[in-house]
Amino acid sequence: MTDSAMVLASEFPPGVDSFDYRDWFTGLSDTALTNVFTTVTFGVWLAAAVLIVFFLWAYRKPRLVPTRMQWMAESAYGVVRNSISVDILGKEVGVRFAPYLTTLFMFVLLTNFLAIVPVMQISPNSHIAFPAVLAIITWVIYVSVGIRKHGLGQFLKITVIPPGAPAFILPLLIPLEFLQNLVLRPLTLALRLFANMFAGHLILLVFILGGFAMLESGNVFIQGLSFVSMLMGIGLTLFELIVIVLQAYVFTLLTTLYIQGSLADEH
């Protein structure tokens, strides 16, 4: 067995520690920069840089007959604008929010995609901090848009008092609606993305590292099964690609629905 395979096998079984990456500046371990810039941090900056460069390059010289890159950028924007933003929010409001929602979709898609990119092979969204920040941004937009349209008092009334609810049940409903709409929404939004990317990374580790661990076992039968484990890892990688796109779509869709809810006259 090669040295690299032995190193991989030694990391089996995977666990929570498999999501921890050492700081790139290990020589600065006694400074404030410790554990600041890891592979996961690099993934976030890489996704942001790719996204910025892609759109700037695509629209540097826009043409009536688009180039291939301009067509790709316009297609990405058009799908989010027409299929999510305008479809849910209406034409006027949907067009206004389409640039942000497109950016959100593409950023989540790129950071998710890093989970199956060789060498990187982990999504920043498998760490709860990054989905949490995105969910907080969504929550801030949800609240600010609602307050801007309705005013603070009316927005809170619409949010926590269901229309047509009898007065005697309001003492029970108001705390539940407040908890659901203003507290749990960003929490569940973040956890949904985090849990899917966390589980996907862990499952891939089990099959890939398990295959290397079986190769190291010394038992011919078990070594033969190692190829089955690795084939399962490849198949699950293709399945993970579906999850990657789906979770980016769901996160963007729910963000749009929250915005719609904050603009509605009643929930």
Question: What digits encode the pLDDT tens for the residues 142-189?
Answer: 999 999 998 998 888 888 888 777 888 888 888 888 898 888 888 999
Question: What digits encode the pLDDT tens for the residues 17-37?
Answer: 666 677 777 654 454 445 677
Confidence of residue 97 (pLDDT cuts 50, 70, 90): very high
The CA dihedral of 23, 29, 33, 39, to the nearest 10 degrees, is 0
- Mean pLDDT over 117-144 rounds to 91
- Mean pLDDT over 69-80 rounds to 90
Task: Give percent of the chain above pLDDT 70.
Answer: 84
Please state, in angstroms and rounded to a whole number, the distance separating the CA atoms of residues 227 and 216: 12
Are the C-beta atoms of residues 38 and 26 closer than 8 Å to each other?
Answer: no
Of 154, 150, 136, nearest in space to 263 by CA: 150
Instruction: Give the other-Cβ count within 10 Å of 98's Cβ.
Output: 20
- Mean pLDDT over 68-97 rounds to 91
Instruction: Give the other-Cβ count within 10 Å of 170's Cβ.
Output: 14
Are the C-beta atoms of residues 106 and 76 closer than 8 Å to each other?
Answer: yes
The pLDDT of residue 173 is 86
The Cα angle at residue 155 between residues 149 and 161, in degrees rounded to 5 = 145
Confidence of residue 204 (pLDDT cuts 50, 70, 90): confident
Spacing of C-alpha 102 from chain mean position: 13
* The pair of three-digit structure tokens given for residue 209, joined into one six-digit string: 């590292």
Please state, in angstroms and rounded to a whole number, the distance separating the CA atoms of residues 151 and 142: 13
Residue 161: which residues within 8 A CB-CB, separation 6 or more?
Answer: 170, 173, 174, 177
